[in-house]
C-alpha cells in the first residue's frame, strides 16, 4: 500500500524452501521471486543474474533463534558460538 502497510497476496506456491541459498538458486533458475538478504544475492545482482523487484521494501526485523537440547549439556563451543552470534548481530 502507499501508506507503507503490508498486504498479503494469496496464491499457490510452486516451491517452498527454508534455505536462503536454495531460494537464491531457484530465483536464478527463473522459478520466481525471493525475499533474501543482500549478502546472499550480492554477487548475483552484480553479475545481472538477478534484478531487484522491490528495492525500497523494508521487510522489518527477522528473528534468529538458537536451539539446543539443554543448558545442562551445552558444550562450551556451542555457548561461545551463540555469544558470538549475539555480539555480531546485535543492533
Q: How far apart are CA 51 and CA 45, in angstroms?
A: 6
If one compares 59 and 84, the residue with the highest pLDDT of the two is 84
| Range of the structural domain that residue 83 is part of | 20-89
Alpha helices in the chain (DSSP H): 20-28, 38-47, 76-89
**6 part of a folded domain:** no
Number of domains in the chain: 1
Residue 56: inside a domain, yes or no? yes
Decide if 68 is inside a domain. yes
Asked whether residue 43 is assigned to any structural domain, the reply reads yes
Tallying the residues shown for the chain, one arrives at: 91
Model pTM greater than 0.75? Answer: no
Question: In this predicted model, what pLDDT tens digit does every residue of 12-51 receive, in sequence order?
Answer: 877 889 899 999 999 999 998 999 988 899 999 999 999 9
Amino acid at each position: 500500500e502507499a501508506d507503507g502497510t503490508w498486504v498479503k497476496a494469496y496464491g499457490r506456491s510452486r516451491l517452498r524452501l527454508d534455505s536462503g541459498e536454495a531460494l537464491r538458486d531457484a530465483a536464478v533458475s527463473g522459478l520466481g521471486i525471493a525475499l533474501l538478504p543482500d549478502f546472499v544475492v550480492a554477487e548475483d545482482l552484480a553479475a545481472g543474474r538477478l534484478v531487484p523487484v522491490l528495492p525500497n521494501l523494508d521487510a522489518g526485523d527477522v528473528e534468529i533463534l538458537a536451539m539446543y537440547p539443554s543448558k545442562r549439556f551445552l558444550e562450551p563451543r556451542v555457548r561461545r558460538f551463540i555469544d558470538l552470534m549475539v555480539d555480531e548481530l546485535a543492533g
